[in-house]
Amino acid sequence: MMPLRMLRGLGVIIVGGVVAACGSFPPPPAPAPETDPTQVCQPVAAEDPLVGNWLSKRSQKGVVGELRTLFTLQADGRMLYTEQLKRPRQPSQGLSESGCWWRDGDVLVLKTLESNGVPVDADDPIYTNTYAISHSSTDKLRLRGSDGIEHSTERTSQGYRLPF
């Protein structure tokens, strides 16, 4: 049996160790400021032919299934970018981004502010994507991404969403 004095000393050491350990953890990160895309995005001309929903369906080497991409470009400068992988006999997988869009001559620029509902680091260049516009008509739009992938899109109805 340990003498009472040793037990008290041991208790002080344990309590002191716990206090020291708790004090060594960094404070929790501050919550990210909420980004309201409607306050950041700049409106585009309402008659801009890119305003609308544009759907692309394509296959890609090394990917089993069909890749579906929906570009929703609104006149107030906001955008939604949804990409979905549709595979046989498996549930769809997808990515949903929102933010702003604008034209820079014959280039479509998408600036992501949220990815799958989570705010992103707007200064990170990975969240700014450019697409060269190689063809544009009232119902067809052909875009080539900086990665070389071409999207041959067709206009869809307002409010169209990718089915899962």
- Provide the b/e sequence for 109-120 (b: ≥16 CB within 10 Å): ebbbbbbeeeeb
Per-residue pLDDT, 116: 94
Give the rounded percent of residues in the chain with a pLDDT score beyond 70: 76
Q: What tokens were used for 150?
A: 């071409």
Q: What global pTM score does this model have?
A: 0.73
For 17, the 3-state DSSP assignment is helix
CA dist., res. 128 & res. 125, Å (int):
5
Mean pLDDT, residues 106-111 taken together: 96
Q: Which pLDDT belongs to residue 17?
A: 44
The pLDDT of 99-108, averaged and rounded, is 96
pLDDT at 87 > cutoff 90: no
What CA–CA distance (Å, rounded) separates 61 from 56?
16
- The full set of domains in the chain, from first to last, is 42-156 (2.40.128.280)
| Residue 81 predicted with pLDDT over 70 | yes
Residue pair 93/85 in contact (Cβ under 8 Å)? The answer is yes
Q: In this structure, are residues 51 and 73 in contact, taking their beta carbons and an 8 Å threshold?
A: yes
Answer whether 113's CB lies under 8 Å from 100's CB. Answer: yes
